[in-house]
Structure 1
Amino acid sequence: MTDPHAIVIGGGQAGLAATRTLLARGLRPVLLEAGAEPVGSWPRYYDSLTLFSPARYSSLPGLPVPGDPDHYPHRDEVVDYLRRYAARLDADIRTHHRVTTVTHDGDGFTVRTAHGATFAAPAVIAATGGSSRPHRPALPGLDRFTGTVLHSAEYRTPEPFAGQRVIVVGAGNSAVQIAAELAAHATVTLATRTPVRFAPQRTLGRDVHFWSTTVGFDHLPIGPLLRAKPASPVLDAGVYRAAIVAGRPDQRRLFTHIEGSTVHWADGSTDEVDTIILATGFRPEVSYLDGTGALKDGQPRQSPGLSTTVPGLGYVGLEWQRSFASATLRGVGRDAAYVVARLATTMSPARRRCCQPVG
């Protein structure tokens, strides 16, 4: 293989967008994906997951999501779409290549995978995204809970929880969607630190994404300002708010502590609970950058999408990386264009050959 100009780590929506952008500039990327196919984490999400943005606002650059532009794609539609997108790229995509280490020196980067392959290039784009590592907060007594604790990343369908007492922790779209679905099969409480904030899915007959795109909100480079703000409101056509008002699920402030299987609430009441589901978000999985100086407390040191400590290193797909939409299907393309344009000057041909797997 001819030496690549850049190595893209991660074959989900962010990595595919970055790879397309590099190819469009006449550059030669190699994309390394840990899984069996370049579709990111989508196949592992819960079965009923539905995008909160219509198809017309959920596409990567160069290929619209098929079907009615105003429909809300399901998980499996997104998986199929990403498969088609990857196939159309005609790119050097290596699946089953889990990156374990990245090193940086004056000649560029050396990337090593779990099965012994080594790649070298003058630039690296970390595109494993912001949804790779489930975040499990240290809630009081959770480590001693005698019931079942799951992260939303492990939730698939409601049927296994039939008849149970379940608490879903979280105030975002996934937490509300999972809790409402479970409430038809179990007794469910949505536990939050602050009340759930709702935003209308449609205003004046148009989806909220029409308005955010029309007024340019999606494009504003305000991502860093949003990182310290409260969680985004839950988009709702009225279904989820009505479910909570009806008490299916009920909503309470986060419990004070847990003893065994007993959950204690702030008002002094208690509940015997079977399962706690943590819909508490994700963190970037970029541990392969340990030792490069690119991370602080495990988080990328970047602004906005460019490493502030390691020349030639960029990111695509981080939440709030540049804009409100940075971690979404509709946002990663813009961020990829921004990052690649600024890394392009470093992408002279690599001085070292790209090595094949050992053994």
Structure 2
Amino acid sequence: MSRAEAARSIVVVGGGQAALAVGYFLARLRRDAAQGRRASAAEFELLESRPEGGGSWADMWPSLRLFSPSDFSSLPGMRMPQSREQTASAPEVVDYLRSYAECYELPVSYGEEVSQVSLTGDGAFQVDASGGSRRADAVVMATGTWGRPFVPSVTGADGFGGRQLHSREYAGPDEFQGMRVGVVGGGNSGAQIAADLQPSAQVTWVTRRKPRFLPDDVGGRELFAAATQQVEGRGRGVADLGDIVALPPVRAARDRGLRARWDLHSLTHAGARWNDGAVTPLDAVIWCTGFRPDLAPLRSLDLDRTAGAPRTRSDLATASANLPGLYFVGYGDWCGPASATLVGVGRVARATVADIGSSGGGARSNERAVTR
């Protein structure tokens, strides 16, 4: 049996944009096999913990919008419909992702919480999920980061007397009417949430350094071009242009006087203490401080790591360096430039599926210890 014939089953853990992009290319392999253009194609399944499609976009706050126009925010094979506004809202992205899965008849099993991925005695993978266990010759992790919010260690945070929440819990400005709210974070989520709150709350925007706004005339087309250059390994990446996209609501808030402070010393029971000793009273703090890869199901595997992230192959950034048949798609630049974006994930998904198709996923060659 050749290596290309070895991978009989593939499990994709996740059902959001990265998982769907991988599913698209796996479905294309299956179609090619059915039409006689290749000898065979593995069976595959996407396991999504949520009860329905849309990925983490279904949990975003109502005012969140894409940075890029629909033409530059599409997954492979299906263009996102034009938005009613300049860029698509989170609910519009959810509708698109659900339509995408239906259009390509991707085998997504919803409500399947994956608890563990482990190695079997013969080197294949066992994927334990709420609906039962699956054996897989290759596993693609596409769980994203939404399930693992990051909150930095800030002096006094444990003693703050008000409400604390992460941006993933933010549901809009209504519950903060008239309140004094600290928004911590100098990226896009911090700027957008501060702007969203500004008309109804007293906002104190806290960043680590002076916010870096992209020029106002840098819109979706320019971001798409920068992301493309980053994917192709030429030119500067999106992050080199700045940290914050000046979307219309953000520009409006800035023009109304929204400013950041980057001299936070600590939190007190009553609010924020600055380096000069002054205190700003706060009723709530929203941490817009990002996420980490949600890879808890891999805790029993002996993964080589670099700077906390699983080490990947030099020739394919999505492939585990020491566990053949294990892949990572959609977590950020460490597993492929722009792979955490709608516009960028298609390229790394295609390369990943090509590797699985040509090597059988390599799961049967695993000889590493299963547990630490």
TM-score (norm 1): 0.87
Paired position in structure 1 for 2:221: 207
Instruction: Identify if the C-alpha distance between structure 1 residues 250 and 89 changes in structure 2 by more than 3 Å, giving closer, same or farther.
Output: same
Instruction: Identify if the C-alpha distance between structure 1 residues 132 and 222 changes in structure 2 by more than 3 Å, giving closer, same or farther.
Output: farther
Within the alignment, does 1:32 sit opposite 2:42 as a pair? no
Cα distance in structure 2, aligned partners of 1:118 and 1:185 = 49
**Are the counterparts in 2 of residues 286 and 298 from structure 1 also a CA contact under 8 Å?**
no
Cα distance in structure 2, aligned partners of 1:256 and 1:231 = 29
Paired position in structure 2 for 1:342: 355
**Are the counterparts in 2 of residues 130 and 319 from structure 1 also a CA contact under 8 Å?**
no
After superposition, the C-alpha distances for 1:278-327 in whole angstroms (9 at most, x for unaligned) are 00011111110011112648633324111112111011101113554210
Cα distance in structure 2, aligned partners of 1:119 and 1:50 = 37
Identity of aligned residues (%): 37
Q: Secondary structure at the match of 1:180?
A: helix
Q: Secondary structure at the match of 2:334?
A: coil
After superposition, the C-alpha distances for 1:3-51 in whole angstroms (9 at most, x for unaligned) are 9521000000000101111111223211111111132111111010000
Q: Secondary structure at the match of 1:120?
A: strand
After superposition, the C-alpha distances for 1:217-243 in whole angstroms (9 at most, x for unaligned) are 1423489x979x889521115653563
Q: Trace 1:320-331 onto structure 2 (pairs within 5 A).
A: 320-331=333-344
Q: Secondary structure at the match of 1:119?
A: strand
Match of 1:16 among 20, 32, 48: 20
Instruction: Identify if the C-alpha distance between structure 1 residues 226 and 67 changes in structure 2 by more than 3 Å, giving closer, same or farther.
Output: closer
Q: Trace 1:43-192 onto structure 2 (pairs within 5 A).
A: 43-67=58-82, 71-105=86-120, 106-115=122-131, 117-192=132-207
After superposition, the C-alpha distances for 1:224-280 in whole angstroms (9 at most, x for unaligned) are x979x8895211156535633643x33101521122123201122101110000000
After superposition, the C-alpha distances for 1:124-182 in whole angstroms (9 at most, x for unaligned) are 00000233311111111112211000100000110111111111000111110110110
Q: Match of 1:267, as an amino acid?
A: D
Within the alignment, does 1:313 sit opposite 2:326 as a pair? yes
1:209 offset after TM fit, Å?
2.9
Q: Match of 2:265, as an amino acid?
A: T
Cα distance in structure 1, aligned partners of 2:362 and 2:101 = 24
Paired position in structure 2 for 1:277: 286
Within the alignment, does 1:220 sit opposite 2:232 as a pair? yes
Paired position in structure 2 for 1:356: none
**Are the counterparts in 2 of residues 110 and 121 from structure 1 also a CA contact under 8 Å?**
yes
Instruction: Identify if the C-alpha distance between structure 1 residues 226 and 300 changes in structure 2 by more than 3 Å, giving closer, same or farther.
Output: farther
**Are the counterparts in 2 of residues 287 and 298 from structure 1 also a CA contact under 8 Å?**
no
Instruction: Identify if the C-alpha distance between structure 1 residues 312 and 324 changes in structure 2 by more than 3 Å, giving closer, same or farther.
Output: closer
Paired position in structure 1 for 2:295: 286
Within the alignment, does 1:268 sit opposite 2:272 as a pair? no
Cα distance in structure 2, aligned partners of 1:98 and 1:42 = 18
Cα distance in structure 2, aligned partners of 1:323 and 1:145 = 39
1:201 offset after TM fit, Å?
5.0
Q: Compute the RMSD of aligned alpha carbons.
A: 2.8
Q: Secondary structure at the match of 1:133?
A: coil
Aligned positions, number:
342
Cα distance in structure 1, aligned partners of 2:329 and 2:273 = 41
Q: Match of 1:240, as an amino acid?
A: V
Q: Match of 2:344, as an amino acid?
A: G
**Are the counterparts in 2 of residues 263 and 273 from structure 1 also a CA contact under 8 Å?**
yes
Instruction: Indicate the structure with greater strand content.
Output: 1
Instruction: Identify if the C-alpha distance between structure 1 residues 179 and 55 changes in structure 2 by more than 3 Å, giving closer, same or farther.
Output: same
Cα distance in structure 2, aligned partners of 1:134 and 1:38 = 21
Cα distance in structure 2, aligned partners of 1:211 and 1:231 = 12
Q: List gaps (5 residues or longer) in structure 1.
A: 352-359
Q: Match of 1:101, as an amino acid?
A: Q
Q: List gaps (5 residues or longer) in structure 2.
A: 1-6, 31-40, 365-372
Cα distance in structure 2, aligned partners of 1:206 and 1:285 = 28
